[in-house]
């Protein structure tokens, strides 16, 4: 297996798997609200296990869990002193598991909440945050860097500069929380075109939108750039009326984001269909973001034609007592009651 993301993109669709923060929150290792990945230092085995589950499900990339492991966020939870150890350990764990299955390792930075397009001084604050995080990632031996959930093109460009200064390939994606443009007023297609012109190896969108409302935006990006295109939606059934997971509302009217989104979750079959639709649009890097489970990733991998380690346990309904062709006569009555409507 090649150790270069560019070689792998040239060889076929690369499958990404993210959503570590949401999944580890569900498992009780990360606090919803701050969403700081304290699990990296506090329960490293829990993180190792989730990496391994995504790897077995067919993910081609282990993304170091340094999302929100930046100075601003660690200060919020009183752990600024753990910044370096948390970043270094996240990269080390991702590398360790990646080696078990020939996956690539990605360093990871995200929106900082420190950037203000109207305050030039914040540019240097953001640059320093990225430089320290990615400096540790580079020393840890990442193969490339993912800069993601960018609300501002301006902030994404700072990340891109830092990544390029380190000599690493860059995958830069925007968070499509608004109907058509970044918070600093660039259409998503135009913003991706600028990122590509500035040297990003892969551009695109991740998080916030589910497949149905994400794919139409990606088609325009694919047409506009010659570099790689990535799309990593959330596995939630967003709609024209509620195009992002933040706008989804349950019947009682309360906000579902971020910890009551379960009723909107896509099935593995919907995510498999998305993977094929994205590939057919010419997307090179197909993935999944917040809300992802290993079953989604495996279904996407198999849809893309990959037989992965977890495929050993993929569904075989022909062996189910009720769904098999030769249901025992004594059991046939069960099927009737399973099928009958109340
Ligand atoms: Zn996400």
| Residue-wise pLDDT tens digits, 246-294 | 999 998 878 999 999 999 999 999 999 999 999 999 999 999 999 999 9
Mean pLDDT confidence for 320-325: 88
**Which whole number is the average pLDDT over 129-143?**
97
Q: Which DSSP string corresponds to 223-273?
A: HH-SSEEEEE--SB---SSS-STTT---TT----TTTS-GGGBPPHHHHHH
Give 339 Cα–ligand 1 centroid separation in angstroms: 37
> pLDDT tens digits for 64-86?
999 999 988 999 999 999 999 99
Q: How far is the CA of 209 from the centre of ligand 1 (A)?
A: 9
Tell me the residues surrounding ligand 1 (ion) with CB < 5 Å. Answer: 207, 289-290
Q: Which residues contact 12 (CB under 8 A, 6 or more apart)?
A: none
Confidence class for position 224, pLDDT limits 50, 70, 90:
very high
Distance 334 CA to ligand 1 centre (A): 41
> Burial letters for 190-222: b for 16+ Cβ neighbours within 10 Å, e otherwise?
bbbbbbbebebbbbbbbbbbbbbbbbebbbebb
Distance 210 CA to ligand 1 centre (A): 10
What is the tens place of the pLDDT at every residue in 323-337? 888 888 888 888 888
Mean pLDDT over all residues of the chain?
96
Q: What is the mean pLDDT of residues 293-311?
A: 98
What pLDDT score does 154 carry? 98
pLDDT at 315: 95
Owner of token pair 């085995």: 45
Residue 321 has pLDDT above 90, yes or no: no
pLDDT in tens, 23-66: 999 999 999 999 999 999 999 999 999 999 999 999 999 999 99
CA of 191 to the centre of ligand 1 (A): 19
């Amino acid at each position: 297996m090649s150790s270069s993301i560019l070689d792998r993109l040239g060889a076929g669709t690369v499958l990404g798997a993210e959503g570590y923060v949401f999944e580890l929150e569900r498992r009780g290792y990360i606090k919803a609200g701050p969403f700081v990945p304290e699990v990296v230092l506090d329960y490293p085995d829990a993180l190792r296990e989730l990496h391994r589950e995504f790897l077995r499900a067919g993910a081609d990339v282990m993304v170091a869990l340094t999302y929100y492991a930046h100075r601003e966020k660690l200060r919020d939870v009183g752990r600024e002193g753990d910044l370096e150890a948390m970043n270094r350990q996240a990269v080390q764990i991702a590398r360790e598991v990646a080696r078990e299955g020939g996956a690539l390792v990605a360093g990871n930075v995200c929106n900082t909440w420190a950037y203000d397009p109207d305050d030039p001084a914040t540019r240097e604050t953001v640059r320093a945050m990225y430089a320290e995080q990615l400096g540790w990632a580079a020393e840890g031996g990442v193969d490339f860097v993912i800069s993601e959930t960018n609300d501002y093109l301006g902030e994404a460009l700072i990340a891109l500069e830092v990544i390029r200064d380190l000599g690493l390939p860059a995958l830069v994606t925007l968070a499509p929380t608004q109907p058509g443009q970044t918070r600093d007023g660039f259409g998503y297609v135009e913003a991706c075109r600028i990122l590509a012109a500035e040297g990003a190896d892969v551009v695109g969108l991740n998080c916030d939108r589910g497949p149905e409302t994400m794919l139409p935006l990606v088609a325009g990006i694919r047409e506009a750039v010659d570099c790689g295109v990535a799309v990593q939606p959330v596995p939630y059934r967003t709609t024209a009326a509620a195009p992002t997971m933040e706008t989804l509302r349950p019947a009682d009217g309360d906000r579902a984001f971020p910890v009551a989104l379960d009723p909107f979750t896509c099935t593995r079959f919907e995510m498999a269909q998305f993977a094929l639709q994205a590939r057919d649009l010419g997307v090179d890097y197909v993935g999944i973001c917040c809300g992802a489970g290993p079953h989604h990733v495996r279904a996407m991998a198999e849809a893309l034609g990959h037989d992965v380690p977890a495929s050993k346990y993929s569904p075989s309904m022909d062996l189910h007592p009720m769904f098999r062709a030769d249901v025992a006569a004594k059991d046939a009555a069960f099927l009737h009651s399973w099928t009958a409507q109340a």
